Structure 1
Amino acid sequence: MSKPCSGCRVVLAIASLSFAAAAFSAYPERPVKIVLPYPPGGGGDLVLRNLQQALEKQLGQPVIIDYKAGAAGNIGTLDVVNAAPDGYTLLMGPTNNFVINQFLFPKMGFDPLAALTPVSLLVEQPYLVTITGALPARDYAGFADYAKAHPGKLNYGSPGAGTVPHVSALMLSDQLDARMVHVPYKGSQPGVQALVANDVQLLIASYGIVAGQIAAGRIRAVAVAADQRLPALPQVPTTAEVGLPPGVILANWWGIAAPRGTDPAIVERLAGAFRAAVGDPDVQRKFVEQGTLPVANSPAQFADRMRNEARAWKDIIARTGVTIE
């Protein structure tokens, strides 16, 4: 019987490592697809389009945005979960697709914390409390008084059941004992149009998607869920300033993830590219104009954030009793 060739094993190991290093050094060799599990025109779309050109410069390849909306973002997210872990299919998702939906959809079929590899939490998007211009209220106190005086008569919109705007508006309604009725839409823009048309009277939304309507006076921003007033809206007080307790209007962020099993070297390459793109001066200027706060943390930091917030959201869902209609 021939003896194992230890020298052969060493040669094979070196060759394998050399092949892996060569593969990584060449990445990416073709366009990178980013799945956005919502329709165009929402907060994530604005963020991604702001980043697209700078990101393409960093990667040296085109970046393709693939809109795959449906089921509160679960359809597009599952598409990435099932994709090859080669760095060419990524997910751009908000808070709910990473740390909320698994507690709302018992038959979702996957746990984002286990099925995805975190790349970077890109931005925070502080939410505004916006109301239709058709109401007599001119500020938060006026809206609160009006809602309390008309229990069960007001509607609030959201970009979908189980999203952060849905849960936040539900908790605001409970806070005011207003018994407002939830009207879910397929994405953010239909909700904005419903607010303008007075089909709904309240919408929790990021500034970028409502800026034009606020400027036109069709809707009013009466509070922002942030530690400080937004530079783009210095006249709008924070939720703390108007007397809302912490944890009523919840935070939203957008992050990038890859399928589980993606090579750590590719994940680090992507994280560095996104970090550089977020730091681009032109991108930073656009973020300030749209009320978006850049983060671009590391894969490990994003993973920690996901784990911590998943625990918190599990408790919030249980406490509020929110369900998917």
Structure 2
Amino acid sequence: MGRGPPVIDFSPFYGQDKAARSKLEDEIRNACLDYGFFQLRNHGIPENIQKEILRQSEDFFNLPDGVKDKYNKDVGEFNRGYERLRSQNFEKLTKGDLKEGYFLAQDLPLDDPYVQARKWAQGPNKYPSEVKDPHLWKKTVDEYHFVVSKVAKNVLSVLFDTLGGGHEFLDDFCDHPIAVLRLLHYPPQEPDASELERGIGAHTDFGAVTILLQDSTGGLQVRDRRTGDWVDVEPISDAVVVNTGNLMMCWTNDRYVSNLHRVVNKTGTERYSVPFFFDGNPDFLVKCLPSCIEKGEVAKHAPLTVSEWMKGRYADTFGGSQEKTAKEMVEV
């Protein structure tokens, strides 16, 4: 096994020490060039909110299957709610990934202009009433979404600082963003499970940046790009895992990595995690930053809107049409 992604202290972002801020940028730059993954401490997500959302997630997934399926994300038109076990299939080598989930995002009213225009991933949430405390469940997921959205924007501002090209476009990118929060439950794999069994198969993330809260169970693995080995990302109680997605490769002309990762839960216990995918305004046009094109180079990826890219990737991993609305930027 190779070495794991670095652990980085984000507190200089909130301070006034320029030298510490410069060191932070260097650490994040190196992580993005090397792994595309890092663990982040002192990120700004309160510990009590982290613990509570994991508790509320477990509460929902302990409900009977028939109750959970009342909130199936395929019912309705906003792709919110429950994702059945094995609904997703990244590697397409088994009957599906051994996980179930719940899709949430910013809870927008039906009269919001983006909802009325049926923009990608814009709309109201579904909130289960059968959990132990429905009010606390809703309050927790909405509060977590609000807080982690701010942290994601802060992380992106540092990422763009590391590229030397400024980030004057960041407010436009973050307006009405595709910002999906998923509660995930990974049942333990059977002792005699196939070697091909995955909690989630090897894949890269679709969008800009992902912030992952994981419990103490473990199971997340990242590919070491030098050796090809799978490296465990050991859970750290006060840290979240951050990784860059495919859109960041488009922005940086492949300088920053969108790396393969997977979950293999051989612990014999349940695993819970809460990934947050911050992917930007659906109409935002992503194109290579001028600072990432050296003299004589050309952009490797054609400009494309966020929604064009996301629609193609969701169709691929959840079944249905295999037609892509945008060119594949990495092999998965």
- TM-score relative to the length of structure 2: 0.23
Structure with greater Cα Rg:
1
Task: Kindly indicate which of the two structures has a greater share of residues assigned to helix.
Answer: 1
